[in-house]
């Protein structure tokens, strides 16, 4: 999944945290909901402006950040 077209970072929005499509919902928010046990469908029901692709993009972004962290540590 290409998250680059979905995940945006704008210095003046949400303190420069990565957000979904320029909205005020952050990658961290979505990951926190998933970590708390919410399903994709529960997130989509609570935030009807999100799509399943948005959620997958958050996971892809987090995986890429983790991969970069591992590379830097090596």
- Sequence length of the chain is 74
pTM of the model: 0.88
Number of domains within the chain: 1
Q: Which domain holds residue 18?
A: 3-73
pLDDT in tens, 35-65: 999 999 999 999 999 999 999 999 999 999 9
Instruction: Write the CATH number for 34.
Output: 1.10.10.10
pLDDT in tens, 7-44: 999 999 999 999 999 999 999 999 999 999 999 999 99
The rounded distance, in Å, linking the Cα atoms of 52 and 20 is 12
């Amino acid at each position: 999944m290409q998250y680059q077209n979905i995940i945006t970072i704008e210095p003046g929005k949400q303190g420069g945290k990565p957000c979904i499509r320029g909205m005020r919902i952050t990658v961290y928010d979505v990951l926190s909901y998933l970590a708390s046990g919410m399903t994709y469908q529960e997130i989509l029901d609570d935030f009807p402006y999100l799509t399943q692709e948005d959620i997958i993009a958050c996971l892809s972004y987090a995986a890429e950040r983790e991969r970069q962290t591992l590379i830097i540590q090596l």
